[in-house]
Amino acid sequence: MTLVASWAVGILAVVGMFLLLIGPHEGGHFLFAKLFKVNVYEYSLGMGTRLWSTTRNGTLYALRLLPIGGYVRLAGMEPGDYDAPNGFHSKAAWKRLLVLLAGPGVNFLVAAVAMTVIALTQVNTDAGKVINVLQPTGSAPSPAWSAGIRPGDHIVSIDGHPVTSTQQIRTEVDKADGQPLTLVVSHPGGAARTITLTPAYNPDQKRNIIGIGTGIFTPAQAVMTGVTFPVYAAIGIVMGIYALASGQVPGGFFGPQGATGAIGIGYLTVEAAQAGWVNWLNIVALLSVALGLANLLPLPALDGGRIVVVLLEKLRGRPFNREREMQLQRFGLAALLALVAFIAYFDIQRIINHQFPGFGQ
């Protein structure tokens, strides 16, 4: 890939990622606000200088210069406008909660759709099609990965026996009892090649494996993979945060494997796009879940913080002082931006030291 093409791919990857993350998130807030007759002053993608705008039905739609965020300005949420007749705070608590939850909810929906698209590319009726390949870890080697086998490859035969069923490979591995196996493997659009590899003992599965999953993959399974992805991804992210907080990750929060900010995300997005659109869409799906989860945190300036306010007001039976609430939201936003800037320093360090993972095949 030429330098110009590489730059073009990088720019398109970051802009596309931004649009798929921020646009739907703010769109969720926007659509539910409109549904409940809340006046929407502005729907904006990006921050800073306005590049383009138009006004329709009283709402300003704008595209701004910096792809670092977006926002929806609702009536009743700004100084001097708290008592607007069709403002956010004039609506029932359940309606306000749905407006706030709609942004993260749409992020989870985007992730499900993206992963369904990826999974549909794996639909096949070929028992030898490689669906996934175990990557090696300290306790679990993967002979197949080390031999260069990747998802999308086809296992033509194993020890001279053509692969005709999804169970056959496991049977042959069990029969080998740790002895070398000869596989004929074909890459998509490429010639078949012969690979010799030795099954390795996997302590988690308590048996010898070569580290691949093959089989027939139906459209229904692809859809189910997409639908369940946000759940499994969210669990993985929460477990990762717990590992960071409990000191299980070497280097801690700001170490090589610690928190990643906007610069690191942009770098990973470009790397993934240059490795192929499936890798890029996979990153987008994961980031969409992460964005949805992050916005549900009960912190000022985030949707979760506003959700807490609505719930507490419902419990106490009267609203908080709006100006004090706004001051708290501003403080939370300032603290969040400071954290983003702080993490950016460590992102740059990781890029310089080549500590981000690659996506090469």
Exactly one of 26, 172, 271, 325 is catalytic; name it.
26
What is the 3 state secondary structure string of the chain? CCHHHHHHHHHHHHHHHHHHHHHHHHHHHHHHHHHCCCCEEEEEEEEEEEEEEEEECCEEEEEEEEEEEEEEEECCCCCCCCCCCCCHHHCCHHHHHHHHHHHHHHHHHHHHHHHHHHHHCCCECCCCEEEEECCCCCCCCCHHHHCCCCCCCEEEEECCEECCCCCHHHHHHHHHCCCCEEEEEECCCCCEEEEEECCEEECCCCEEECCEEECCECHHHHHHHHHHHHHHHHHHHHHHHHHHHCCCCCCCCCCCCCCCCHHHHHHHHHHHHHCCHHHHHHHHHHHHHHHHHHHCCCCCCCHHHHHHHHHHHHHHCCCCCHHHHHHHHHHHHHHHHHHHHHHHHHHHHHHHCCCCCCCCC
| Known catalytic membership, residue 26 | yes
So which residues are the catalytic ones? Answer: 26
